[in-house]
Amino acid sequence: MNKIFKSKMIPKSIGLLSVFLFLFNTVSAIEAGFVEVKSISICLGKQANEVERKVAKLLEDRILEKSQVVVDIMQEPEIKSGYELRILLGRPDHHEEIRKQFNNHRIPQLTERAPGPEGFLLRQIENQVIIAGIDDRGCLYGVGELLRQITLRQDHVLIPGELNIRSAPAFEIRGTQYGQSHVAKRLARVRDWTEEETQRVILDYALAGANTFSTAAGPAYDFIKSYGLMTQGGFGANTAPETIVDHADWVASESIGRKGYVCLSVDKARTYMLEKCEKFAKSSPDFDLIKFHGGDGGGCECDRCDPYGLTFINLVEEMGNIIHKYHPETKVYFTNQKFDNEDDNAIFSYLQEKPRDWLWAWGYGPGSDATTWQPGHRQTHRMDLFRYPGFGPYGLYPVEILHQLPPQQKLIYYNEITHWKYAQHAYIQMYPRADRHGDLPPHWSHDIYERRPDQFLTMVYNRLTFYAWPRYYHRVFNDLMRYGIGDITHSSGHHDHFNQWMWQRLLWSPRMTVEEVVDEYCRTWFGKEAAPFMSEAILQLEENLEEITGKPLPQKEGILNYYNLVKKAGGLMPNLDMRDNWLWSMYMQKGVLDRYVQLAVAHQLNLQKDVENKVAFALEHSVSKNEIESILAFLKIDMKDSEEMKQLRLEAEKLGEESNDIFGVRNDGFFNLSHDYIGLGWLKRQLQRSIDAPKKDRVDLLNMIVDYDNPGGGGYYDNLGTGNNAPNVVNGYPYDHGQPYVFEMLSEENRPSQRSMHFTQDEKQGVTFYYTGLDPNASYKIRFTLVRPWYQERYADRMNQKSESLFADDILVADNIELPVQMSDFFTYDIPQKVTKDGELIIRLEKAIDVAVGDRVTIEQWRNSGGWGTIVSEAWLMKR
């Protein structure tokens, strides 16, 4: 306590009562060991450079944003007294007073080992705080730590009474991308950021520990460099969209057929790319890093380029030398995104052949991992690395890369933590497809693929939606980052705020537990009063996003729990912390919208149940057209929002307008709430069919409504698709759509079981069922649910598959069954009795003869963008 009170000067001439009252008032103003100050001087050294001055101004600005205390910046030797708190800020070699304090208090000097490069000392001594940076960036990070430690109030600032932090980052490279996403602008309808808002985002991540930002030449580059931070530029080795129209023979065979890339085996195209690189290098500023990305998109699958990895790295060596001609200090690296095993092995051999001093690092980004089946469809995988799990699967290939790399090259990451589904470390929407060799993940790594997004929430939110994943990304970080020198994460917007902030904090201090990271985040952005509730809410949010077997969305207590926690946190936040807090508004919007979806799904499920009960009653008493028409009319009338849902819509709208006004952010889900979540459209269709059908068929149609998946006595039912119960399927795997799922692919008026399916690609054997224990004296029929997806225009021209054939054992039962587009239907076929007399049956689908034919590249592009040879959603084997 004595140290705390030293920051307050007690007048000598006052009596004991006055002393008591002074101390009482002082104690009442102190919160849990904090010192209250109302005036602050920020004191720079005599030799302070431009970065130190900018960092001092940043500290002043961040304090005055919320608090009305006095803050003045001054510089040696003109350091004035009379302030309740003095902050000595700067590098010791630039600051005489900091050196004096180090000597007077026997503070160990800052060194390359203590704290380390880019490190700082944050030390409170009586009524002053020292922020000493070992270098320019150390000063910035010291300010970031102070801002996380202090509490801003309307008319005062609370400073911890004990501050003694000596810290430096654990990783050399700590970076990210920044900006607004196209989804935010197009779907969430947000306003554009101002230049000052973009700069604020950059500084927020820098204060968390970032030192590198992916950017382009221009004002943002200049702003980043003005704070002593590093910049990364990028160049696509075969990206040249402006040449495509005039040089059709240059076009690359990109893995999913995207345009805008040239084949590097075409001499003129290769020359053009070198000339383009020369122009880029000549006109660009001195980026600290230059990244050459190999694919996603880009690359070429043609036979002349095979293995493309070697074609690519030979060209990048020439390009790297061009970069170094103009920018000799720039560090050059590449990424092996979407390369296959041959590509990677060719690069390993190239690097091992002789020293390649032009290359700084191997970059590891989305699609780079040869031991996980990630969206983007790497063509082959390193199955030899699966012999023992180790810390796999994420850690297996980085270890192999380090084993293969010469000592002069490093491993740097380009991790993708910006999409919540269909991405590098995101939810895999459907279980992964087999690769070119038919390989699939080993059983012990299935957990990362069985994590699926909630089937109802995924209908509302885009891939680039607001979310937070503390526990899973903490696991990914710890699995991966121990093998590299750092990370420049892929961020496609500002919806991934927590993920990016957490990544920067872990790159600084990787031993932090997930609870510590979340708590620090919440104290930083919401204040100490709200932090416990926001911490619990963020951890709950991660659970809410995931599909939980046996607990559909209406049964998830966590949805309402999250809503209440964020609401309570908002009520506890002082007006100062709540004012203009766009981030709290975004978390609240998520809670409001999730709760709305939960109620909408529950309402639709209740409505479905009511219809099923009415149909069951009709089956017991009457199946007249009038009775069925009255049920159909009831279904149409009752599809409307409840009062609570209406209020939630209004609340989400208000929050969205506020967050957009404050900071140009809003949840895209607000504009995408109207869905047929459970397939009520199928109920309507089935009811209408029963009305239109002859009376003898009406009962069967209505029975499907009340007892949908029942195959009858001695029958079998398989619900195909990821995570579903399909015990009789022996060949095929869940359909992953090839590209991020768009809702036009399949109609929402299908039941959920009709929307998911198994498929095969170019294999001869299609989806196959194997039944045993059949009645040898019975006759059987099989009913399928079949539907084929609609494709976007950029994929449709290569998707000629429309039909498939059906075999029972080796007997052709149906030839070229044409599947309906988007809306499923039932197809029923009699099985020849002679094939079931032995009590067993093989049902096999076979692709049409003109599907997946042609040259290797054409077939690869077809596979990679969602091509299917056979496909089926459900199957009932029933006795006739």
Q: What is the pLDDT of residues 852-875, one digit of tens each?
A: 999 999 999 999 889 999 999 999
Per-residue confidence (pLDDT) for residue 696, from 0 to 100: 84
Strand partners, 133: 120
Cα gap 12→181, rounded to integer Å: 61
Number of other residues whose CB lies within 10 A of the CB of residue 792? 13
Per-residue confidence (pLDDT) for residue 245, from 0 to 100: 62
Number of other residues whose CB lies within 10 A of the CB of residue 802? 15
Contact 364, 482 (CB under 8 A): no
Per-residue confidence (pLDDT) for residue 738, from 0 to 100: 76
DSSP, res 94: G
Closest CA to 344 of 393, 392, 411, 281: 411
Distance of CA 313 to the CA centre of its chain: 29
In the chain, what's the furthest Cα-to-Cα distance?
A: 113
β-strands 768-771, 841-847 pairing: antiparallel
Cα gap 734→849, rounded to integer Å: 22
Which residue has 């599909």 as its token pair? 547
pTM attached to this predicted model: 0.94
Contact 473, 417 (CB under 8 A): yes
Number of other residues whose CB lies within 10 A of the CB of residue 180? 21
Cα gap 174→509, rounded to integer Å: 11
Per-residue confidence (pLDDT) for residue 109, from 0 to 100: 96
DSSP, res 191: P
Cα gap 149→128, rounded to integer Å: 15
Per-residue confidence (pLDDT) for residue 433, from 0 to 100: 86
Which whole-number Å values give the CA distances from 437 to 369, 375, 433, 860, 867, in the listed order? 16, 17, 11, 12, 16
Phi-psi map region of 152: left, alpha, beta (phi>0 left; psi -120 to 50 alpha)? beta
Cα gap 811→836, rounded to integer Å: 12
Number of other residues whose CB lies within 10 A of the CB of residue 783? 17
Per DSSP, the three-state class of 4 is: helix
Per-residue confidence (pLDDT) for residue 26, from 0 to 100: 39
Contact 287, 233 (CB under 8 A): yes
Per-residue confidence (pLDDT) for residue 4, from 0 to 100: 31
Check whether domain 176-512 has CATH 3.40.140, yes or no: no
Per DSSP, the three-state class of 732 is: coil
What is 2-167's CATH number?
3.30.379.10
Tokens of 532: 């416990």
Cα gap 490→335, rounded to integer Å: 13
Strand partners, 843: 769, 808
Which residues of the chain have a pLDDT value below 70? Answer: 1-32, 242-243, 245, 376
Closest CA to 339 of 255, 416, 237, 258: 255
Helix boundaries (H) for 509-624: 514-526, 531-545, 557-572, 575-578, 582-621
Strand partners, 291: 234, 333
DSSP, res 742: -
Which whole-number Å values give the CA distances from 28 to 22, 25, 34, 35, in the listed order? 10, 5, 11, 11
Which residue has 């040089």 as its token pair? 247
Per DSSP, the three-state class of 214 is: strand
Cα gap 571→554, rounded to integer Å: 26
User: Which residues, 6 or more positions from 738, have their beta carbon under 8 angstroms from its beta carbon?
Assistant: 256, 377, 795, 863, 864, 865, 866, 867
Per-residue confidence (pLDDT) for residue 742, from 0 to 100: 82
Closest CA to 263 of 237, 281, 292: 237
| Helix (H), strand (E), coil (C) string for 559-579 | HHHHHHHHHHHHHHCCHHHHC
Per-residue confidence (pLDDT) for residue 700, from 0 to 100: 92
Cα gap 880→871, rounded to integer Å: 25
Between the two ends of the chain, the Cα-to-Cα distance in Å is 88
Please calculate the CA angle 262-256-736 and round it to the nearest 5 degrees.
165
Per-residue confidence (pLDDT) for residue 2, from 0 to 100: 30
Cα gap 844→837, rounded to integer Å: 18
How would CATH label the architecture of 709-880? Sandwich (2.60)
